[in-house]
Structure formats: structure tokens, C-alpha cells
Amino acid sequence: MSKTYPFNQDIVETDFLLRVNKNEQIQSGSLEKLTASDYQFVRHNRPWLVNKYKSSMTVENLEYTTILEITVEDEIAARAKMFLDSLSRVYIDYTQQSEIDINQNTLRYIDKQLDEVTLILNDFEDELQRYKENKGIPGPQPGGEQIFQ
């Protein structure tokens, strides 16, 4: 299928958005030469791309480290680099979010434990106060400290 589109305008299709910007260095004389060539853009479906990169990728854990060495074979080196850069960014974002989630869960657990300990201590304090009142033990008042000592 062949279509013609103007420069500097968005090309909106069902599965993609594309824009071809005209370079200032292109003059009308060179434009004729450039338009004599056919250009094509190939759109691959997601499962095919996933399988392609999955089969061309190797992951090794460097000995005695937490470093992963990831390599990808591709016909276009720049595309492989872009894929690895994107993969790294996604992995780092995922790792950071996981750490944030763990920290938030830890804080929630600590807060819950503090609330429970506070309730227990308040119950003990109330029980101690009732015990003192039942036994007639004076509280800390002038002269009351001597009894406690």
C-alpha cells in the first residue's frame, strides 16, 4: 500500500502517529532527487517484536556482583541501544517503585505496632491506677513520694 503525506504534519493512523519534518538543508533541487527514491516505514505487531527481542537477548549475572549484563543483537545498532536504554529505564522505575511500596508497607506496619503498644500501655496505666485506688495508695503528691520511696 502506498500513501503520500506532506512534511511537518502529523500522520495519524490506527496504530501509530508519525511526523516527517523537512530539514532546512533540503532545497528544491535536492528535493526532486530525494523524492525519486521510495521510503517505507514498517510497523511490526507487538507479539512479533517481543519474540524478536526475547530471542535475541542474553542476560548474564556477573560473578560475585548484583550487576546484570544484557546484550541484544539487532540489524540496527542504534535501535538495539534504544531498546536497552528503554529496558533499563523501565527496570529502574520498577525497582524504585518496589522500594517505595516496601517502605510504605513497613511504615504502615510500624504505625500499627505503635498503636497497639500504646493501647497496651494505656491499659496497664489504667489498671495500675485502679489498683492504687483500690489499695488506697496515694499518688504523687507532697508527702506521697516518701511512701513510694
The Cα 98–Cα 10 span in angstroms is: 37
pTM of the model: 0.54
Q: What are phi and psi of 41, to 5 degrees?
A: -120, 130
Residue 7 in contact with residue 21, Cβ under 8 Å? yes
The Cα 83–Cα 74 span in angstroms is: 10
- Is residue 102's pLDDT more than 70? yes
Output the pLDDT for position 2.
73
**pLDDT exceeding 70 applies to what percent of the chain?**
92
- Is residue 39's pLDDT more than 80? no
Q: Which of 5-9, 40-44, 58-62, 115-119 has the lowest mean pLDDT?
A: 40-44
Residue 118 in grid coordinates: 500504646
Instruction: With CA atoms as reference, report the closest residue to 83 among 61, 44, 57, 48.
Output: 57
Output the pLDDT for position 142.
62
- Is residue 121's pLDDT more than 80? yes
Residue 61 in contact with residue 68, Cβ under 8 Å? yes
- Is residue 5's pLDDT more than 90? no
- Using 50, 70 and 90 to split pLDDT, how confident is the model at 17? confident
Rounded to whole angstroms, what are the CA distances from 143 to 48, 125, 129, 132, 140? 88, 22, 18, 16, 8
